[in-house]
């Protein structure tokens, strides 16, 4: 399969992502193109509101808090109502950290997150080659305390931790005419607040935890290497007849034309030259996007004009890229192709479930002010360790030692 081989040769990390622990490949991935190498974990702030209130772009947690207080108290959307929301984000999941989590603020403390992939979704991270769980780290405690303070001051919705995805989306986008949210966690501004309001928002650069902190101690989420990859696009039964023919069919899906048409749909993608395509902007006004799940490979020598999704996330990522220099991309990040042995899969799943259920319920109670994190912290840490957190960390440390190269 020449086109599949070309993809795996050009991007060996993509091959590593879909390899099993013994090096076998049972599924083929999609590679969406270099323009999608974006962290995806972006934070947007309403620049129109900042300018109207004469506020500067916040650089620290305290400065952001001051800005949020102004947002909710000084009617920046000008409708005469106290309907402004300071900060909004998707709900906290009980089983994992998901996309657009406010715990990306851990990067203010020097912890490099990778929230788009496991194991960071279960609180696992690496620093200087040592794997740990940030769930019991003082840095996690401080981020939680900060979020609890914002909640107490009414700077984010009371139900922010539990509202469903559609309610969150409707809250951020409103009626499409009047902005109601000051800071939102999203992939792009358009994705977060909708196309009608997106021009009001700009990316919020990574924040320092405190003013005297060194710039170089602040990092950012390092999920960019996995962002262009869909790791389970197509597979074939080992019992399928006419395998040679099927291999040709599969490889044809990775050709330039088929890749573009399957990713953007034939209705909205038009070939205008050799490996050059133009996307109809009408695609991006659709309520429901084309599925974008078929196997494909957008190679570096292809040119796609009008891919608004790629353009917007590339633009948003510019303020975060300088911070990628503040950490080692092997020693301070668990590579996305790191795998734990199948022999410990059940054990790890049970650990993940037990640990995350307790950690996230505790976290929600602290943020909402139902419990006190200072008085609970020692018992919380002890309970997570008793639940097997150290075993969870060791499993990932052993996997990291094998795969981090």
For the stretch 28-53, pLDDT in tens is 888 888 888 888 789 999 999 999 99
Which residue would you say has higher pLDDT here, 16 or 359? 359
Distance CA 400, CA 397 (A): 5
353: its two tokens: 């479930």
Cα first-last separation, the chain: 27
CA distances from 181 to 51, 62, 84, 357, 365 (A): 15, 19, 6, 29, 24
Task: Provide the whole-model pTM.
Answer: 0.91
Instruction: Tell me what pLDDT residue 157 has.
Output: 94
Instruction: Tell me what pLDDT residue 150 has.
Output: 98
329-341: average pLDDT? 90
In order of their start, the domains of the chain are 2-31+225-312 (3.40.190.10), 33-221+320-405 (3.40.190.10)
Q: Are 227 and 42 in contact (CB under 8 A)?
A: no
For the stretch 112-158, pLDDT in tens is 999 887 799 999 999 999 999 999 999 999 999 999 999 999 999 99
pLDDT mean across residues, the chain: 92
For the stretch 171-220, pLDDT in tens is 999 888 999 999 999 989 998 999 999 999 999 999 999 999 999 999 99
Peptide bond into 236 cis (omega under 30): no
342: its two tokens: 């199948």
For the stretch 273-311, pLDDT in tens is 999 999 999 888 776 665 566 789 999 999 999 999 889
């Amino acid at each position: 399969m020449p086109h599949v081989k070309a993809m795996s040769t050009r991007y060996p990390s993509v091959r590593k992502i879909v390899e099993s622990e013994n090096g076998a490949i049972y599924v083929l991935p999609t590679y969406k193109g270099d323009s999608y190498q974006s962290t995806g974990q972006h934070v947007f702030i309403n620049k129109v509101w900042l300018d109207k209130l004469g506020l500067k772009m916040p650089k620290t947690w305290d400065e952001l808090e001051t800005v949020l207080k102004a947002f909710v108290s000084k009617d920046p959307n000008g409708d005469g109502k106290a309907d402004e929301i300071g900060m909004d984000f998707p709900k906290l999941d009980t089983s994992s950290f998901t996309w657009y989590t406010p715990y990306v603020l851990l990067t203010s403390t020097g912890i490099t997150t990778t929230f788009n992939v496991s194991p960071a979704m279960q609180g696992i991270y690496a620093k200087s080659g040592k794997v740990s769980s940030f769930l019991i780290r003082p840095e996690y405690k401080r981020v939680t305390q900060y979020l609890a303070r914002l909640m107490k001051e009414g700077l984010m919705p009371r139900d922010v931790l539990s509202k469903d995805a559609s309610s969150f989306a409707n809250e951020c986008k409103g009626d499409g005419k009047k902005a109601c949210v000051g800071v939102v966690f999203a992939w792009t501004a358009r994705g977060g607040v909708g196309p009608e309001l997106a021009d009001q928002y700009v990316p919020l650069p990574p924040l320092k935890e405190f003013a005297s902190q060194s710039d170089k101690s602040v990092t950012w989420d390092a999920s960019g290497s996995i962002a262009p990859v869909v790791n389970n696009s197509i597979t074939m039964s080992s019992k399928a007849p006419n395998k040679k023919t099927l291999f040709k069919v599969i490889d044809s899906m990775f050709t330039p034309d088929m890749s573009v048409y399957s990713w953007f749909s034939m209705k909205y993608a038009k070939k205008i030259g050799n490996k050059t395509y133009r996307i109809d902007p009408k695609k991006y006004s659709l309520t429901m996007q084309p599925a974008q799940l078929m196997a494909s490979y957008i190679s570096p020598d292809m040119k796609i004009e009008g891919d608004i999704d790629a353009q917007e996330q590339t633009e948003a990522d510019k303020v975060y890229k300088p911070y990628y220099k503040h950490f080692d991309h092997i020693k301070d990040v668990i590579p996305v192709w790191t795998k734990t042995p199948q022999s410990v899969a059940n054990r790890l799943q049970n650990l993940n479930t037990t640990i995350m259920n307790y950690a996230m319920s505790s976290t929600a109670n602290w943020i909402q002010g139902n419990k006190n994190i200072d008085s609970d912290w020692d018992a919380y840490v002890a309970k997570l360790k008793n639940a097997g957190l150290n075993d969870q960390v060791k499993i990932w440390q052993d996997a990291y030692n094998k795969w981090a190269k």
